[in-house]
Structure 1
Amino acid sequence: MGIASENEEFATRAIHAGYNPLEYGYAAVPPIYASAAFDLENAVRGDALAGGLIDGFEYSRVANPTVDVLEKRLAALEGGIGAVAVGSGMAAVSYALMCTGEGGGRIIAPSNLYGASVDALGDFLPQFGIHTDFVKSINDLSEVESRIGPDTRAIFAETVANPSTELLDIEPLAQLAHSHGIALIVDNTVPTPYLLRPIEFGADIVVHSTTKGITGHGNAIGGAIIDAGKFDWANGRFPQFTTQQQVISDDRNNEWHSFASKYGNAAFIKRIRIKYLRTFGAVASPFNAYLSLIGLESLPQRVSQQVASAQHIAQHLSRAAHVMKVNYSGLGYTPQYELVGKYFPRGVGQILSFLVDGSADNVRRIIDGTKLFSYVPNIGDARSLIVDPAHITHREVPAEARIAAGVSDNLIRLSIGLENVNDLIADLDQAIAHAY
């Protein structure tokens, strides 16, 4: 199948997947179900719903019709067997890592992750008995393999690192992980499933901050976890999946189940919903899910324009005065050029960063001097955004890891929106000129 036909198929799924108007009162657009709970109808049906014998809705902390459409659509777009939408991207990251590592597991990860992810892995999750072995380069298979031990449960990485735009070589990393019986979990927030579908290259679990490119308009916080449904969670490394659980068993009839025995290849995503969403309660708002669904409808068109503009701006900045380095893997001369062709034929995304000479004062003057770019710690918005990562998005990252990832006081990150690209370039030019 060619790129053109793939684009058309994706665009169709982005609008229609997971929704049948006949099941929702013939509403053309998925309705917002602003209801905390749903009538169980009768005692027999209520007991069957609570026991998981039939599908349906009983309480919005576990499932909601509007959120359900979003979950089905995201699973379809990523090529997974199921998804759980949650209240934020960090809830998605935290739930996926905790569900994998609970009970004393270890995670392997690079230190060039989003700041809050580094904080969670390095400082917070250890308080829950989940520890991380950080590596300098997640694409260095020898380094990664050297950190795999008997307690290792998963490898976690971003498909496109923020703000360096360093690309993840998914396929060999997945093969390495699977040869040791551990899972590969990837954060696919930056490219969105329009630019990359990691499951096709061997990823087991995909997480998103739907706040970013998926919703696309900076108006709704959300996250999602998508399960490829191919990993064997009963392979001996994950006792939480093979231990019998009261919540999915029927003690009245002496029927006992583990997540692996009851749900098979859907064990992970079912545990996320039944244990993590239901217990910790980072529930996706039906209204936010609705906004994400609306955002998805224009995802291919938005991202295509943003990628084209980001490419143009990166090329311009690489020749601009006072710019010492541009980080954008979409430029044709980067060391990861071959990975771009393999994984990102449509482009690597809308974020880029650049290093300027001078001092932190010059950086502040550039940021304050822009007129079209909003000083906002978000990405994937329809508006173009600018931020100084060392002081905002990566503030909680230890200095050594920050510097190793290239996040210095002189680094500026851009998220390119839908404005006219020439207007954006003119705005950057005048801001840089006035900053010196």
Structure 2
Amino acid sequence: MSSECKNRFATLAVHAGAAPDPATGARVTPLYLSNGFAFETPEAASDIFGLRKSGYSYGRGGNPTGAVLEKRIATLEGGTNAVTIASGQSALLVILLTLLQSGDEYVSANRLFGGSLGLMRRLEERHQLKVTFANPLELDNFEKAVTERTKAIVIESIVNPSGDVVDLAAISDIAKRHNIPLVVDNTLATPYLIRPIEYGADIVFHSLSKFIGGHGQVIGGIIVDAGKFNWAGDKRYPLLSQPWEDYGGIVLADKFPQTAFGVASRVYGMRDLGPGLSPFNSFLALTGTETLHLRMPRHVSNAQAVARHLAAHPAVAEVSYPGLENHPNHPLVKRYTPEGPGAVFTARLKGGEAAVKRLISNVKVFSHLANIGETRSLIIHPASTTHRNMPPEERLAAGLGPDVVRLSIGLEDALDLTADLDQALKD
């Protein structure tokens, strides 16, 4: 890993974590379709299950194909270790359940992927994990949301769906002042555009279903441990700092000081809760990483072209893409994402919800579906789909009124995309 880290992003995206298969010489990482793995001896089996020795035991806790993906994404993000998991949603769930117990509190950005917001509300209602929402673009209010009972901060690096870039270093400073971990969903940025650990993030996660997988084939997630938060002796986080009696009294923060959160996520999140990622989805996501450095610049340049075009269109009232120079979030783009703020943004139409529905019904190149970050361009109406469970007043405050459409810009020719939108916007 240390020698790999000397290489640049493109080389790491292709090679990190991988080597020719020792049994066959296969250069592509093999797809290990096995739910169990033979042990050399009874003692080796006991040591692996007891966390005294690394190795594979049962596919729910890890797989050699997934291990290469974990090493690669951890390397690209600058983390110490990673855990592949069944979806981005389950990655967030495992992070929260590893950090929090019933009655605990945390602060979350109020501008997030709709599924994340829905999950957080459900966990509060059913499991008493209290969340306080705050606008991550208003740092004073965000700071005030943190109390002595807060045990984590959760944000997105680039906000889904508005595309706003968050001031990661400033929010990291808030987390450090209160000695709590900062959790960053880096799905829209990918490590190609932003590496949140460099700005103070303690835990990073992704939906692999988006830009990393990149082709609309995969449902998957990954958790990356920065290895920097000091969990040792901190009774607020018992899974990290207290003995696990069923594992011989092991204390993860003492045994694994630089990888403790990743180990806890694997042992509790994977072995106990069970949302493992299939080897086949790991294989597809791993393949996707090999072209990430080629796809992201095209995504960004296309998004910039489409956003500029829509901003000048007579049927469009507003475009929320901070890559545009007149956008209020543009200064943070220059600081954090000089290569561009991703490829997901919203547009507000002058004709209201009726115009949005006509647009979505009339596009021919864009696909009407709920994903983002694919090779193909996608379009959807957040207010009635991805963010429908938000209270109406919160949707409006987040810029997701009924007249707003979300676009995820793919790899097609930008002129074809703008032409498609033009014909679909005609009365």
Structure 2 gap segments, 5+ residues each: none
Q: Is the 8 A contact 1:78 1:199 kept in 2?
A: yes
For residue 92 of structure 2, what is the aligned residue in structure 1?
93
For residue 344 of structure 2, what is the aligned residue in structure 1?
351
1:315/1:22 Cα in 2 relative to 1: closer, same or farther (>3 Å)? same
Describe the superposition over 1:305-353 as per-residue Cα deviations: whole angstroms up to 9, x where unpaired: 1100100110010000110000101111211222111110111111121
Letter in 1 for 2:29: P
TM-score by length of 1: 0.94
For residue 415 of structure 2, what is the aligned residue in structure 1?
422
**1:163-174 matched pairs, under 5 angstroms:** 163-174=161-172
How far apart, in 1, do the equivalents of 2:276 and 2:188 lie? 22
How far apart, in 1, do the equivalents of 2:424 and 2:21 lie? 53
How far apart, in 2, do the equivalents of 1:265 and 1:247 lie? 22
The structural deviation recorded for 1:121 is 1.4
Letter in 2 for 1:84: V
Letter in 2 for 1:207: F
How far apart, in 2, do the equivalents of 1:258 and 1:271 lie? 10
**1:119-158 matched pairs, under 5 angstroms:** 119-135=118-134, 137-158=135-156
Describe the superposition over 1:177-235 as per-residue Cα deviations: whole angstroms up to 9, x where unpaired: 11111111010000111111000010110010000000000001000000100001233
How far apart, in 2, do the equivalents of 1:360 and 1:345 lie? 34
How far apart, in 2, do the equivalents of 1:196 and 1:189 lie? 10
Describe the superposition over 1:332-387 as per-residue Cα deviations: whole angstroms up to 9, x where unpaired: 12112221111101111111210001232221111010000000101110011011
Match of 1:278 among 247, 264, 271: 271
For residue 253 of structure 1, what is the aligned residue in structure 2?
none
Q: Is the 8 A contact 1:160 1:167 kept in 2?
A: yes
The structural deviation recorded for 1:236 is 4.1
Match of 1:192 among 182, 190, 193: 190
For residue 213 of structure 2, what is the aligned residue in structure 1?
215
SS in 2 for 1:123: helix
How far apart, in 1, do the equivalents of 2:76 and 2:109 lie? 27
1:89/1:399 Cα in 2 relative to 1: closer, same or farther (>3 Å)? same
**1:25-104 matched pairs, under 5 angstroms:** 25-104=24-103
For residue 177 of structure 2, what is the aligned residue in structure 1?
179
TM-score by length of 2: 0.96
1:367/1:24 Cα in 2 relative to 1: closer, same or farther (>3 Å)? farther
- Paired residues, number: 422
**1:295-310 matched pairs, under 5 angstroms:** 295-310=288-303
* Amino-acid identity (%): 40
1:247/1:19 Cα in 2 relative to 1: closer, same or farther (>3 Å)? farther
The Cα RMSD (Å) is 1.6
Q: Is the 8 A contact 2:239 2:264 kept in 1?
A: no
SS in 2 for 1:288: helix
The structural deviation recorded for 1:22 is 4.5
The structural deviation recorded for 1:48 is 1.9
Q: Is the 8 A contact 1:174 1:202 kept in 2?
A: yes
How far apart, in 1, do the equivalents of 2:46 and 2:237 lie? 30
How far apart, in 2, do the equivalents of 1:402 and 1:131 lie? 20
**1:1-16 matched pairs, under 5 angstroms:** 9-16=8-15
Q: Is the 8 A contact 1:57 1:63 kept in 2?
A: yes
Q: Is the 8 A contact 1:102 1:240 kept in 2?
A: no
Structure 1 gap segments, 5+ residues each: 1-5, 250-255
SS in 1 for 2:67: helix
Structure 1 stretches (4+) deviating beyond 6 angstroms?
A: none
**1:273-352 matched pairs, under 5 angstroms:** 273-352=266-345
Q: Is the 8 A contact 1:83 1:227 kept in 2?
A: yes
How far apart, in 1, do the equivalents of 2:22 and 2:195 lie? 29
Letter in 1 for 2:345: L
The structural deviation recorded for 1:281 is 0.8
How far apart, in 2, do the equivalents of 1:347 and 1:83 lie? 26
Q: Is the 8 A contact 1:190 1:349 kept in 2?
A: yes
Letter in 2 for 1:131: K
The structural deviation recorded for 1:8 is 7.9
For residue 252 of structure 1, what is the aligned residue in structure 2?
none
Match of 1:400 among 375, 393, 406: 393
When structure 1 is superposed on structure 2, of 410-419 and 16-25 the one drifting more is 16-25
Q: Is the 8 A contact 2:108 2:154 kept in 1?
A: yes
Letter in 1 for 2:111: N
Letter in 2 for 1:140: E
The structural deviation recorded for 1:126 is 4.1
The structural deviation recorded for 1:304 is 0.7
How far apart, in 2, do the equivalents of 1:23 and 1:196 lie? 34
